[in-house]
Structure 1
Amino acid sequence: MVSLKAVEPSLIPPDTDPSELDNIIASYYYSCKEVTPYCPVEATTLGYRPNLGINIFFAVMFGLSAVTTLYFGIKKKTWGYMGFIAAGCALEMAGYASRVPLHSNPWNKHAFETQIVAIILAPTLICISIYLTLKHVCLALNPSLSPVKPQRYPYIFVPLDVSCLLVQAVGGALAAGGALKDFKLVSHGNRAIVAGIVLQVVVLGGFGGVVGVYWWRMSKWIKTEQASTETLALWKDKRFRMFVYAVTAAYSGILIRCIYRIAEMAGGWGNHIMQDEPSFIVLEGFMVLIPCVLLASFPPGLLFPQMAARMSGPGTREMSGTVDAQSQAEPKIGASKVQAASAEHSLGEIQGNVGLANPR
């Protein structure tokens, strides 16, 4: 995958079919191994030498985020949440580590292909963990206010997210396969990648809409007399709110990144947006790094123990969800049973005292 810059006319064979010109130019540049007068940096897909320092920084920070996520995830047994974030951070680390050798040789094809695949696909994995949090927040607060049964959220958003991943992977495979043989395949692959990212933005938008509806309902319900003491305590808990704010900021960062990626990929390989390194650093690099750092630094195992308890094992997870739902749906019934038991106990004590006071 290279940028189709104008090539010297003397290098083009005579009587060349104009329809094959793109393939000829692509094949010519794809054969470049290093920067030369005939293989300039400007003819690469990126059009620049990636900044060495910032890419080392990104690789190190993503690596630290992966290690931190694994530490708290293993310690608190939040397996699913931990696994997807750690995998996403590891992919990002591999992607930015692959950009390091591109600084010395922008024509390093293996490094370029590794970084483009890893950096495009990694945020999709991180999104899965963000989607999982909604189920547990609803179960812990009030599942009856959720637009959809909380247990169904993973079955809705995770398959959609995986679909985004598959569409982008297919696009990457088409683009890589057509680099030497057929430049039209590269264009088709680019369209598939854009379609996958657009689908991801739609899914993220739908998820944000569901969260907004639930949060609006909760903010109204929590002020009523129906709200239990436990729910009020969790709603006002600073640690829980820190976790929610961290996940919200992570969601916002990845959404911004995906919108940027649509604009970047829409113009095809080597367009002016793709060749602008500052915008890539800010809108791609930091918009994914910040979510990874936040999700690693504010783990549910420390800030949202209800979620950690459900994720620590199948039995615990199902039982906790059932208890939460029952506690929200039947607060008055439970209280009535306690009051009845207390009244019965008191009546027994009174009858016993009467018997002692009036012996036969």
Structure 2
Amino acid sequence: MSAPNSTTPQLSIDDLSPYHYVPSELVCVIFVSLFAIATLAHTWAAIKYRLWWLIPTVTLAGFGEIVGWAGRLWSSVNVLSANAFLTHSIDLAFALADSRIFLTCDIVALVVQGAGGGIAASANTQAGSNLGGNIMLGGIIFQLIALICFVSLATEFFIRFIKDRPVRGQSSLSNDSFTTITNSRPWDHRLKLMSGAMVFITVVIFIRSIYRTAELADGWNGTIISTQIYFDLFDGAMIVLAMYTLLFFHPGRFLFSEPALEEMIKLESNTGSSTRQSLIKSL
């Protein structure tokens, strides 16, 4: 029997792993648990306050995080499983979404990211992985640009709201659709807390978007994507902070006063959603 060739390189499990490391099982369990708790709580709150738009946005995003981190947990047990990495790559591309225009932008960006993640995770060649990575990068950059536009417009809105300087001017707001602007709600303590929470959520999502952009721009073999702590902190932890901040400063409790909220729920159950819209205008 001949002696083994000492010059033949021996590949470690980290070299074979698509992550370039083995995901920590404990960290994955913690994140799956945190997202599961937050998702259930958001679903309950959406039902309680009749804020149904939170289900296809926040609740769905939370479910995507659960599945993505479950795939990562699967990888911690079997790091060479292609299906586990595919689950991780596609589902963790999804994050929180907001508003009609920006929700549409998010959907487009997330579909592109999901498609890129699927191509990269199932690729058998470096060229295929690079193609999927570039598609994901394009979706993330598009999402980051949309987020920057959202932040700019939101900043202008808050400045005009605080200074009571609407875009159309007070004299031109005779239509009923502008009732909430002409009779604006006072900048009370509850509204300040809610607004501060929204600012914080936007910041952490912005941090996460910058991280994902830098991660993919650095390449599949780059230092950023190969460092586990970066992903845990700048991806997982950022979305955890966003979901729990929105839960603690829930719009059902902070955006509406308690009497108005109770009346809104009661009237909606009796007469339908059209009454709710009229009541919201009067707040």
Q: TM-score range by the shorter chain?
A: 0.7 to 0.9
1:299 maps onto 2:250 in alignment: yes
Provide the residue aligned with 1:315 in structure 2: 274
Q: How has the CA–CA distance of structure 1 residues 183 and 275 changed in structure 2, closer, same or farther, with 3 Å as cutoff?
A: closer
1:58 maps onto 2:58 in alignment: no
Amino acid at match of 2:253: L
Provide the residue aligned with 2:17 in structure 1: 44
Residue pairs, 1:106-185, within 5 angstroms = 106-121=79-94, 123=95, 126-128=96-98, 131=99, 154=100, 156-177=101-122, 179-180=123-124, 182-185=125-128
1:191 maps onto 2:134 in alignment: yes
Give, in angstroms, the shift of residue 201 of structure 1: 0.6
Q: Which runs of 4+ in 1 moved over 4 A?
A: 8-11, 225-230, 306-310
1:101 maps onto 2:74 in alignment: yes
Structure 1: state its 5+ residue gaps.
1-7, 12-36, 132-153, 328-360
Does the residue aligned with 1:48 lie in a helix, a strand or coil?
coil
Amino acid at match of 2:116: G
Does the residue aligned with 2:153 lie in a helix, a strand or coil?
helix
Distance (Å, rounded) in 1 between the aligned partners of 2:112 and 2:181: 45
Query: Percent of pairs identical after alignment?
Result: 23
Q: How has the CA–CA distance of structure 1 residues 232 and 120 changed in structure 2, closer, same or farther, with 3 Å as cutoff?
A: closer
Provide the residue aligned with 1:219 in structure 2: 162
Distance (Å, rounded) in 2 between the aligned partners of 1:89 and 1:228: 33
Identify the range of structure 1 (38-47 vs 192-201) with the bigger mean alpha-carbon deviation.
38-47
Amino acid at match of 1:261: R
Amino acid at match of 1:102: S
Give, in angstroms, the shift of residue 242 of structure 1: 2.0
Select the residue among 205, 208, 212 that pairs with 2:151. 208
Give, in angstroms, the shift of residue 120 of structure 1: 1.3
Alignment size in residue pairs: 257
Work out whether residues 44 and 270 of structure 1, in 8 Å CA contact, stay in contact via their aligned partners in 2: no
Distance (Å, rounded) in 1 between the aligned partners of 2:97 and 2:145: 13
Amino acid at match of 1:63: A
Q: Which has the higher contact order (CA 8 A, sep 6+)?
A: 1
Provide the TM-score with structure 1 as the length reference: 0.64
Does the residue aligned with 2:222 lie in a helix, a strand or coil?
coil
What is the RMSD computed on CA atoms of the aligned residues? 3.0
Give, in angstroms, the shift of residue 81 of structure 1: 2.1
Name the larger-Rg structure.
Answer: 1
Give, in angstroms, the shift of residue 230 of structure 1: 6.4
Work out whether residues 76 and 301 of structure 1, in 8 Å CA contact, stay in contact via their aligned partners in 2: yes
Provide the TM-score with structure 2 as the length reference: 0.80
Work out whether residues 68 and 297 of structure 1, in 8 Å CA contact, stay in contact via their aligned partners in 2: no
Amino acid at match of 1:69: H
Q: How has the CA–CA distance of structure 1 residues 230 and 65 changed in structure 2, closer, same or farther, with 3 Å as cutoff?
A: same
Distance (Å, rounded) in 1 between the aligned partners of 2:276 and 2:36: 30
Amino acid at match of 1:316: T
